Amino acid sequence: FRTRFIEKFWPELAEMSGIEHSKEYHPEGNVWEHTLEALKHRKNDDLILSMALLLHDIGKTAASGSKEKPFMEHAEIGVNLGRTFLKRLSFSRTFIDDVVFLIKYHMLPAAMEKLPVYRMEKALQHPLFPVLLDTICDYDRMICLYSIFPKLQELERRPGAPVPTRPCFDPE
């Protein structure tokens, strides 16, 4: 932030440096430091992935909640903030939709063991779902991928239900 470029041109990103994280969940410190760590650990330089990682917690700047859960609905808030940010940078609608999918569902894998399949079906069927599991969740180490495999099998067994267009992972 030495040059003040980010504050001047991308203030929504600059705001992340003022939002502290619980050291228990994110020892990096604030939301900006966590975001930089996520970017450092990405598996490739794909622009959709990079933008999703850059913006995955942007909703925390506008979220409110309790002391126990200070960032309620930050993913949903992040969808709107991320979409606005990317539109301002003139990205295509398809690009924005892909990034927004990853922002919207970045917390889903942590909850998958507890959710019924019908609550996750739309996300599971999205072509970027494997990216969500493989990269975003890999960094945060939210869950073991094998713990959600039964959910994917259940989805495949449902009569007439569409299944993900490509496998997320192979448990064997």
Q: Give the pLDDT score at 101.
A: 94
Residue 39 token pair: 């970017």
SS3 20: strand
Q: Give the pLDDT score at 96.
A: 97
Tell me what the mean pLDDT of segment 140-154 comes to: 49
Q: Nearest Cα to 60, choosing from 129, 106, 111?
A: 106
Cα angle, residue 19 at apex, residues 140 and 50 outer, rounded to 5°: 45
pLDDT surpassing 80 at residue 162 = no
Cα angle, residue 34 at apex, residues 22 and 127 outer, rounded to 5°: 115
pLDDT surpassing 60 at residue 107 = yes
Please state, in angstroms and rounded to a whole number, the distance separating the CA atoms of residues 104 and 73: 10
pLDDT surpassing 50 at residue 37 = yes
| pTM confidence score | 0.74
SS (H, E, C) 45-83: CCHHHHHHHHHCCHHHHCCCCCCCCCCCCHHHHHHHHHH
Residue predicted with more confidence, 105 or 43? 105
Q: Give the pLDDT score at 116.
A: 82
Instruction: Quote the DSSP letter at residue 136.
Output: I
Tell me what the mean pLDDT of segment 57-81 comes to: 81
